[in-house]
Amino acid sequence: MKDNLYLTQTDTTIGFVSQSSSKIDKAKDRLPNKYYIRVVNSLEMLKRFNRVPNSHKNRVRRSKKTTFIMPNGLSFRVVKDSEHNLLLDRFKWLYSSSANLSGYSYDEVYAMSVADVIVSPLSKRGNPSTIYRLGRDRSMKIVR
């Protein structure tokens, strides 16, 4: 169950989620040397993986649909008050990525064909999260 690749409506867009980053690599046809966003269901779970610099704790606690790249290079998003929490609360954390081949746009037929489990409804292809790179004292918005 933990190694399954799920196609689901995340808090931001339709995406692949799994606790196995290699499953997402294979579905996206992506090299395994890149990191994925780790989506967590609470600030307590985030604390188990990473320490948030003191100067950014309020921003991380209050943010919605925002991904933070920590000083060590790992990225996290805390999801709260979302239907996505129904799945996320079962696992506590998941790797997350958009549901498309790397470098291509979303193709529902392809995404459904590679997913082990489809969590419906798949209703919207919304905007991706805002991304901030956190330093010890400063933050920088990442423009895509």
What tens digit of pLDDT does each residue of 76-96 get? 999 987 788 888 999 999 999
Kindly indicate the confidence band of residue 144, based on its pLDDT and cuts at 50, 70 and 90.
Answer: low
* pLDDT surpassing 70 at residue 107: yes
- Give me the residue spans of the domains in the chain: 6-142
pTM of the model as a whole = 0.89
Class of domain 6-142: alpha beta
Kindly indicate the confidence band of residue 35, based on its pLDDT and cuts at 50, 70 and 90.
Answer: confident
Distances (CA, A) of 85 to 11, 37, 80, 82, 136: 8, 16, 7, 6, 30
Contact 94, 38 (CB under 8 A): yes
pLDDT for res 1: 67
Kindly indicate the confidence band of residue 3, based on its pLDDT and cuts at 50, 70 and 90.
Answer: confident
Strands 37-40 and 6-9: unpaired
pLDDT for res 80: 85
- How large is the average pLDDT for residues 54-71? 91
